């Protein structure tokens, strides 16, 4: 039972594929201008949806217009859930990811490297396909159990952009539960809180940095604010999330 619980947590609570979540669609999110501006797949087939994690109180996501921006206002109170969109973007079409966030305060007790403190005021999550035959036996077992319990396997790899209390920007933090989830620090410390921060991240370059190999197809994008481990409260705002087209070579 301990191994089964571990697999379940790895698959859902730790975002290894956003699998097994109880679907709780929120009209304010799905049909909002934020969702319409958050373009992450060329076909625009799937919709953004709020996904709850079994056994966790949900984080609150509300569409707002803040500081002239379309945004999602997020409040987490001893909670963990996400807004996710399933996509399919082949590796040759992976360009840059554009996103923004505003964080008023960090989570004082959080430490993304420790299982019992791994909360973050903001996360932007990318899930990738790949050759699962290259996994360790442990990760293969976790994925198989996740498939049995939740109906979805773990992604081959999950890359998460995070704001860390102390580790420097550019550092990669492996999840304490599985090395198929890796967190890339893009902000560190409180110096740039209480303002909008805008990013354009090269997906291929960041994936190579985190995993040491080229990425497979992008299969999921999500945002998440969680405070379930530290049993605290956090607020944040997310601007639209966009996948920018691959730059064409100059002739």
β-strands 218-226, 80-89 pairing:
antiparallel
152-186 per-position pLDDT tens digit: 778 999 999 999 999 999 999 998 888 899 999 99
Q: Environment class of residue 149 by beta-carbon count within 10 Å: exposed (0-12), middle (13-18) or buried (19+)?
A: middle
The CATH number, out of the four listed (1.10.10, 3.30.300, 2.50.20, 2.60.120), of the domain defined by the range 22-133+155-244: 2.60.120
pTM of the shown model: 0.87
Q: Write the DSSP assignment of 15-65 as a string of letters.
A: -SS-TTPEE---HHHHTSHHHHH---STT--S--EEEEPTTSPPPEEEEEE
Bridge partners, residue 85, by sequence? 221
pLDDT digits (tens, 9 = 90+) for 68-126: 999 999 999 999 999 999 999 999 999 999 999 999 999 999 999 898 899 999 999 99
Of 205, 200, 218, residue with least CA distance to 88? 218
Calculate mean pLDDT across residues 50-62: 88
pLDDT > 70 fraction of the chain, expressed in percent and rounded:
84
pLDDT at 12: 40
Where do the domains of the chain lie?
Answer: 22-133+155-244
**What local confidence, expressed as pLDDT, does residue 2 receive?**
34
Q: Is the pLDDT of residue 219 over 60?
A: yes
User: Hey, which residues does 65 pair with through a beta bridge?
Assistant: 70
């Amino acid at each position: 039972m301990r191994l089964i619980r571990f697999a379940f947590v790895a698959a859902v609570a730790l975002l290894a594929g956003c699998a097994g979540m109880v679907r709780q669609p929120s009209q304010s999110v799905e049909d909002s201008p934020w969702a319409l501006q958050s373009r992450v797949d060329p076909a625009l087939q799937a919709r953004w949806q709020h996904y709850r994690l079994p056994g966790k109180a949900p984080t609150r996501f509300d569409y707002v217009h803040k500081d002239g921006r379309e945004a999602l206002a997020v409040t987490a109170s001893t909670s963990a859930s996400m807004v996710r969109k399933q996509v399919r973007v082949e590796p040759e079409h992976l360009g840059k990811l554009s996103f923004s966030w505003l964080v008023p305060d960090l989570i004082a007790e959080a430490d993304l490297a420790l299982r019992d403190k791994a909360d973050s005021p903001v996360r932007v999550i990318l899930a990738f396909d790949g050759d699962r035959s290259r996994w360790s036996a442990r990760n293969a077992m976790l994925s198989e159990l996740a498939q049995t319990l939740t109906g979805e396997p773990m992604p081959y790899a999950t890359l998460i952009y995070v704001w860390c209390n102390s580790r420097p920007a550019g550092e990669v933090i492996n999840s304490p539960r599985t090395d198929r989830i890796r967190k890339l620090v893009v902000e560190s410390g409180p110096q740039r809180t209480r303002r909008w921060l805008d990013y354009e991240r090269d997906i291929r370059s960041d994936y190579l940095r985190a995993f040491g190999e080229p990425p497979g197809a992008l299969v999921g994008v999500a945002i998440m604010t969680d405070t379930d481990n530290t049993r605290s409260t956090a607020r944040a705002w997310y601007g639209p999330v966009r996948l920018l087209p691959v730059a064409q070579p100059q002739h």
